[in-house]
Amino acid sequence: MAGTLRAALKAGERAWTEGSTKEHCVQKAGNIIEATKRKIQDQNLGVDLKLDYIDMNDSQTFEVVDARSSRHTHPEPIILSGALWVGKTRLIDNIILGKTDEILS
């Protein structure tokens, strides 16, 4: 279950790379979380997953990226981040999308 958030963000990253909008990328990521929640419920594992957030922010200003943005309309690096509660533990993770050398150098 700890890998669920990472898998969700990777799904969002794939969608972004394919040219999808932010809205679609966040939806793809959320679908991974929901599928895992259903699997946990079906198996009666007694663990509660609760999505806190998945969002995209500009890497320079940290402003939230518009839902209609895509890598074609927003070529600057983007931070795709999320937080997920697994029981009482809050997991956070992020992925930098785009030209990482522009912000990591």
Q: Are 14 and 28 in contact (CB under 8 A)?
A: yes
Per-chain mean pLDDT for the chain? 91
Superfamily of segment(s) 4-104:
Pantoate-beta-alanine ligase, C-terminal domain (3.30.1300.10)
What HEC string does 41-60 produce?
Answer: HHCCCCCCEEEEEEEEEECC
pLDDT of residue 97: 92
Counting Cβ atoms within 10 Å, is residue 80 exposed (0-12), middle (13-18) or buried (19+)?
Answer: buried
Q: What is the pLDDT of residues 24-36, one digit of tens each?
A: 999 999 999 999 9
pLDDT of residue 80: 97
Which pTM was predicted? Answer: 0.90
Residues of the chain with pLDDT under 50: none
